[in-house]
Amino acid sequence: MVFAGLFIILAVVLCVPFFAKKIEEELEIFLFVMGCIAVTVTSQWSVLLIKEALIEPLKITAAVFIAGFLFRKLQKPIAHRVNKIADRIGMKLFTFLVIITVGLFSSIITAIIAALVLVEIISHLTLDRKHEVFFVILACFAIGLGAALTPIGEPLSTIVIAKLKNQPYQAGFFFLFKHLWRYVIPGIILFGIIGAILIPDKRQKKHGLHEDKEENIKDISVRSVKVYFFVMALVFLGNGFKPVIDSFVAKIPYQGIYWLNLASAVLDNATLSAAEIGPTLGLLQVKSALLGLLLAGGMLIPGNIPNIIAADKLKIKSSEWAKFGVPLGLLVMVAYFFLL
């Protein structure tokens, strides 16, 4: 009965936000409720779990809050200098540098702030719409990869460290960097190179995509609170699904886990990581699961937080994203599969 209940909860968590727009907009509350139900079904409530759920989100929440204020100060200088810098160094080099910069620094400034910086750059860049969409998608792939290197980068990495902090991994702050950098950093550079190849030097006078709203203190505060409750919800979900991880996921070979995470293209990868990752998985299974989640997460808009932010603010349609994101993501996933 416990497993049946958990599989029903999993189906609801993965499917309902995809079809119900209101729930998608209030995803943090929805996941919090479902996480509480999962913990109740498996009878895992304890003072220790509540303490973990309250403490675990603090680092990434603080990072999002502080980085939000820094971005607010830099927002106007970024906007005023975008086209001057692009003219000075050339559009191809500019594209390469922007993609690898937001990708690498997303692990420090968080994926959310990296996405907002990207939006600010793109919205003031005089480039035709097709190539701006290419630029955004490539940069979001890079941000999704880079943010996974530290537990303050994005909710996925926060949850993975929380799930693996005890035996046998005793995961600390640099655990993900230690095991993923050789896959992540070349991947970010690869997306930068693809951008430099695809984006032309010639630019148009009109904007293809627009987002002129300036960040204010209320925006920063609300976003930080949402991140806190999102991570807390994932802690509850991860603990609730521990029996499923131990009984089923741990028995799947790493190749199967890797391709299973193609689901991350349409489902938030942080939610999937909460349901999949656990200390009973071998290191190769953990790496395969994470790389599958990170790469597939860039293929469609719902797969990752940077995609959702950029697509919403720049009014990119799902079909526009899919035309470029899906074939690119599949090609990269095939290449990484052989690397694994």
Give the 3-state DSSP-derived string for 259-284, with helices as H, strands as E and coil as C. HHHHHHHCCCHHHHHHHHCCCCCCHH
| Structure-model confidence comparison of residues 263 and 225, the more confident one | 225
* DSSP assignment of 67-116: HHHHHHHHHHHHHHHHHHHHHHH-HHHHHHHHHHHHHHHHHHH-HHHHHH
How many Å apart are CA 87 and CA 23, to the nearest integer? 43
Q: What is the pLDDT of residues 177-236, one digit of tens each?
A: 999 999 999 999 999 999 999 998 876 655 556 555 667 888 889 888 888 988 888 888
Per the structure block, which two tokens stand in for 180? 């993923």
* Residue 243 burial by Cβ neighbours in a 10 Å radius (0-12, 13-18, 19+): middle
Say what the alpha-carbon torsion angle 26, 11, 269, 256 is, to the nearest 10 degrees. 180
Per the structure block, which two tokens stand in for 177? 């960097």
Q: How confident is the model at residue 208, as a pLDDT?
A: 53
- The full set of domain ranges for the chain reads 2-339
Q: The whole model's pTM is what?
A: 0.84
Taking only Cα atoms into account, the Rg of the chain, rounded to an integer number of angstroms, comes to 19
Helix (H, G, I), strand (E, B) or coil at 250: helix
Q: Residue 330: which of 300, 307, 308 has the closest Cα?
A: 300
Q: What is the pLDDT of residues 128-165, one digit of tens each?
A: 888 999 999 999 999 999 999 999 999 999 999 998 99
How many Å apart are CA 106 and CA 116, to the nearest integer? 11
Q: What is the pLDDT of residues 6-55, one digit of tens each?
A: 888 878 877 787 677 788 777 788 888 988 998 999 888 999 999 988 99
